[in-house]
Structure 1
Amino acid sequence: MAVAVLQDLNLERLSFSVPKAQSLEINPFFTIKTLKPNLPFRTIITERDSWWKLDPRFLKGHLKQLRIQDPFKVENVGAVVQFLQEGETDFCKGFSIDVEDMFFFYPNPWAARMR
């Protein structure tokens, strides 16, 4: 069925790759965030071993359509850097950052010092 859908969408190259994948579905799983009492559950979706990983643009394009209200969402690392440089941080003695998969490079002198 996945191959037929991809062919209908004119995604021929991807449709040829689907039969080679180990799995046809993505796998959601959940973690508990103890630091966020009002939003304790976090859904993580992995496309590992599935045909979805063959073309990440396919999944990303559809996930971008979702409108999620997340008060903890950080759009990019630049927003964190800007907050730390310009924000009122006197109240803050420390903070925790949970980074699991970072698939980008941010060319910033401040970020380079963090390595």
Structure 2
Amino acid sequence: MNNTIILYKKLVDENPNFKAKGKTTFYTSSNGYMFSFVNKANEIGIRLSKEDTKIFGENYTIQPFISHGAKMRDYVLIPEEALNYNWNFITNMLQKSFEYVNSLPEK
């Protein structure tokens, strides 16, 4: 298991509201929506509301999250520096992501 997946699982395991899913592609989902996952390039992306994307952008340069060659709408790429130096902020953003998808109409 590579370092990104280890960090991702640790990030998810810290929140009792959801669990990591998947056997080859690790992800979280709720209310019928995925809200975070690790892509084939071993990058972590989370889905955020416009308001939370703005908050994220106040702390980090917002970069698109790409999966299978497509830009994932509402997702931001989590930079390695955030995982290494701003863990609490990222765990908070993951909780915000969970809250966001639960505010959407159920699929």
More strand by share: 2
Q: Same fold (TM over 0.5)?
A: no
What TM bracket, shorter-length normalisation?
A: under 0.3
Give the TM-score, by structure 1 length: 0.23
